Amino acid sequence: MSKKKVILGLSGGVDSAVAAVLLLREGYEVEGVFMRNWDSSLNRDVLGNPHVNDEVCPQETDYIDAMKVADKLGIKLHRIDFVEEYWTRVFTHFLEEYKRNRTPNPDVLCNSEIKFKSFLNAAEKMQADYIAMGHYARVVHHPKVKLLRGIDPNKDQSYFLCQLTKEQLSKTLFPIGHLYKKEVRALAASCGLETVATKKDSTGVCFIGERNFRQFLQNYIPAQPGDIETLDGEKIGRHEGAMYYTIGQRHGLGLGGAGEPWYVLGKDAARNVLIVGRGANHEYLYSNRAIIENINWLGPEFTEMECAVKFRYRSADIKATVKKIASDKLEVLYPGTAKSVTPGQAAVFYAGEEVLGGGTIEAVYMNDERRKY
């Protein structure tokens, strides 16, 4: 019987390297693909013209590390460009959301559109039975396809996978989802993968990397300065562009004075006003109801159900009642309240370890009052 073939996203980091080790141990035929999704030569200003004064992503270093891992493990490594796919399917949406004064999560869209769509399509042309990634998550294939949290609560990435379809998941393996990060690093070291065993985890925007984010956005969206006001309408300062601020943000406001620090409470997009208030626990930061759009549902059919919801990657689970109000829209009630629930971010629903689905936060309320988020 021939081996099942797996095409693995080999990023040059420790997680995907150990994923390769485990797949080989399980008897799969493994080939790696290094994805190149961002090209600094494609950086454009607000008029669409290329610009060169931009920090270059450390992609080449990662590619070299991926080659070292592939050589050590004796597997083929391919390099495939998804630069235009990333630009058209992920980055342009990312910019449009910022123009709407929303705070998008590009990692969610990058997973659904690039890592598990463009990548999957390329892998299928390579006669792959499965694709694999070094994500901290788990997938069950039988008897029904289910997406589960990763075992390591500090690294669980199921939140970012909430837009994957059952079809995508049915063709996906997550070899390290049952491990803790420290176990992954130890396994890499024991296999002689010193290059990646102690390598720092990548951070920043998916495939774009670590940057001065405000300067980066200014390359693509013209700043529109405006007033900073309190909820009572008192003008107390100026902002550099409302899109640069997110709900609950404290730093970068340029506001001082006696008393508790100032925090972003909301935005009045029509007037280009940033609304602020004093105190990390200002009552306006809290809500108990939200409307979620662009729903991708993996769980059982329902009209109304009890479950848990996460409104941010690092946030705790919140008990909620979920009601279907349209084919792709849900109302979420969480009487215990939640802080800084932000339009544009992902809301992800769980039943214990299982991911039920997810969507994008559209509107936020305290009872019947819509927050100016």
Q: How far apart are CA 234 and CA 220, in angstroms?
A: 31
From the candidates 57, 110, 191, 307, which is the catalytic residue?
110
3-class SS at 173? Answer: strand
The radius of gyration of the chain's CA atoms, rounded to the nearest angstrom, is 22
CB contact at 8 A, 76 and 31: yes
Q: How far apart are CA 351 and CA 298, in angstroms?
A: 11
From the candidates 57, 162, 191, 206, which is the catalytic residue?
206
List CB contacts of 70: < 8 A, sequence separation 6 or more. 10, 20, 32, 76, 77
DSSP lists the bridge partners of residue 266 as 275
Catalytic residue status for 206 = yes
Which residue in 136, 135, 160 sits closest to 150, CA to CA? 136
DSSP lists the bridge partners of residue 6 as 30, 130
Q: Which residue has the tokens 């994805």?
A: 35
Burial zone of 337 (CB within 10 Å; 0-12 exposed, 13-18 middle, 19+ buried)? middle
3-class SS at 7? Answer: strand
Catalytic residue status for 110 = yes
- Please state the separation of Cα 98 from the chain's center in Å: 15
Q: How far apart are CA 128 and CA 6, in angstroms?
A: 5
CB contact at 8 A, 113 and 90: yes
Q: How far apart are CA 108 and CA 137, in angstroms?
A: 14
Residues taking part in catalysis: 110, 206
